[in-house]
Structure 1
Amino acid sequence: MGLFSKLFGGGKSPEPKQVEPVEYKGFLIYQEAIAENGQYRIAGRITKTFDDEVKEHRFIRSDVLGTESDANELMLKKAQMFIDQMGEKIF
């Protein structure tokens, strides 16, 4: 039975990675590339605390890159540009 569960995706899912956020203009950016068919999709979160309440904006882009570090680096640049353009209107 163990062989079949490995072949068909059964069993335990991998533990989520702990991601260290990057602070930018009072926002926290979490780079969370998603592995997909041997490549990595740009994805992540932007958070900011308002009066002890954490607001969060999640996004997944259509862009895919060959390495996780490249996807995370581009995600950071896109998130910074998004913050520059939208500011607190993100939430």
Structure 2
Amino acid sequence: MGILSGLKGLFSGGESPPEKAEETIEYKGFSIVPAPMKDGGQFRVAAIITKGEGEDQKTHKFIRSDLMPNRDECIQITLRKTKLTIDQLGDNIFG
């Protein structure tokens, strides 16, 4: 799958769902759930980032173009990138 067709799939709703739920990681008041997406024979960096509870809970679907050859490596890269994004954007990650 080419980069353009992969990006088209992301925006058209054609992305693969995460294989299984991963353990939630708490970081600076945010919750991160890695959600690697199978893409061909590789895994796309993706996660769900949330903050707050109940009606005040905010959610951000974190998807990047990075592809990793195996699931464990993808999860490690996902956590590094989500933490960096949280450090840089804080609550602005929610828009």
The TM tier, using the shorter chain, reads 0.7 to 0.9
- From 29, 40, 46, give the equivalent of 2:49: 46
Specify the alignment match of 1:63 in structure 2: 66
Q: What letter corresponds to residue 77 of structure 2 in structure 1?
A: L
Q: What TM-score, normalized by structure 1, do the two folds share?
A: 0.77
Q: Structure 1: where are the runs of 5+ without partners?
A: 1-13
Residue 81 (structure 1) shift:
0.4
Distance 1:56 1:21 in 2: 14
Residue 51 (structure 1) shift:
7.2
| Segments of 4+ moved more than 4 angstroms | none
Q: What TM-score, normalized by structure 2, do the two folds share?
A: 0.74
- Please tell me whether the aligned partners of residues 48 and 62 of structure 2 are also in contact (alpha carbons under 8 angstroms): yes
Matches within 5 A, 1:1-91: 17-49=20-52, 52-91=55-94
- RMSD of the alignment, in Å? 2.1
Specify the alignment match of 2:7 in structure 1: none
Q: What letter corresponds to residue 80 of structure 2 in structure 1?
A: K
Q: Structure 2: where are the runs of 5+ without partners?
A: 1-16
> 45-54 vs 30-39, which deviates more?
45-54
SS at 2:86 equivalent: helix
Q: When you count helix as a share of all residues, which structure comes out higher?
A: 2
User: Paired residues, what number?
Assistant: 78
- Cα 1:55–1:18, aligned 2, differ >3 Å: closer, same or farther? same
Distance 1:42 1:16 in 2: 13
Q: Percent identity?
A: 40
